[in-house]
């Protein structure tokens, strides 16, 4: 018996894994005739100016936020053009540590009953240093989690 999900969360970060996760989430939403929240979390601690380790100023942060807001709105329109109803899709942009934002803030606030994440958005060294967001979500979420893996093709 298949689980009927009411509100699906797809966490996206621009990686191939996140792209796969979004595709899987859209399939689930279409099949269940339900709602999709697409969340992008910007971790300012991992951003630096020009790769030199210099802290970002307010103007640069504003530009990053505006570029990401524009990206999320384009993504929403693309999802609507590909078969989801406007009332089915909401896009969200948050700042903070992606692990904490998804598990402790967003999911409880929006009562998502399924989170779909990509298998990884980081390389091996980054996972060793900061840990995988996907594995943290899988271990700590209060709802079901689907880890979407890209096709091996």
CA 130 to CA 102: how far, in whole Å? 16
Facing residues of 10 across strands? 38, 116
Report the pLDDT value the prediction gives residue 60, as an integer from 0 to 100: 84
| Mean pLDDT, range 7-28, rounded to an integer | 93
In this prediction, residue 130 has a pLDDT band, given cuts at 50, 70 and 90, of very low
CA 104 to CA 92: how far, in whole Å? 15
Q: Is the pLDDT of residue 54 over 50?
A: yes
Name the residue with higher pLDDT: 147 or 116. 116
DSSP characters over 69-106: HHHHHHHHHHHHHTT--GGGEEEEEEES-HHHIIIIII
| Mean pLDDT, range 53-61, rounded to an integer | 74
Digit-coded pLDDT (tens) for 72-127: 999 999 999 999 999 999 999 999 999 999 999 999 999 999 999 987 655 555 55
Look at residue 21 and give its three-state secondary structure.
Answer: helix
CA nearest neighbour of 105 among 141, 76, 135, 146: 141
In this prediction, residue 48 has a pLDDT band, given cuts at 50, 70 and 90, of low
Q: Is the pLDDT of residue 129 over 50?
A: no
Report the pLDDT value the prediction gives residue 146, as an integer from 0 to 100: 93
Q: Is 124 left (phi over 0), alpha (psi -120 to 50) or beta?
A: alpha
């Amino acid at each position: 018996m298949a689980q009927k999900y009411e509100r699906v969360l797809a966490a996206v970060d621009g990686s191939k894994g996140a792209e796969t996760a979004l595709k899987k989430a859209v399939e689930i939403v279409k099949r269940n005739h339900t709602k999709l929240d697409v969340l992008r979390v910007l971790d300012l601690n991992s951003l630096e100016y020009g790769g030199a380790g210099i802290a970002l100023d307010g103007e640069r942060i504003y530009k990053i936020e505006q570029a990401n807001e524009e990206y999320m709105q384009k993504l929403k329109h693309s999802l609507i053009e590909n078969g989801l109803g406007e009332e089915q899709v909401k896009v969200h942009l948050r700042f903070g540590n992606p692990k904490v934002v998804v598990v402790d803030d967003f999911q409880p606030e929006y009562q998502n009953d399924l989170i779909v994440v990509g298998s990884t958005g980081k390389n091996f060294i980054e996972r060793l240093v900061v840990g995988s967001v996907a594995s943290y979500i899988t271990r700590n979420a209060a709802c079901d989690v689907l880890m979407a893996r890209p096709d091996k093709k």
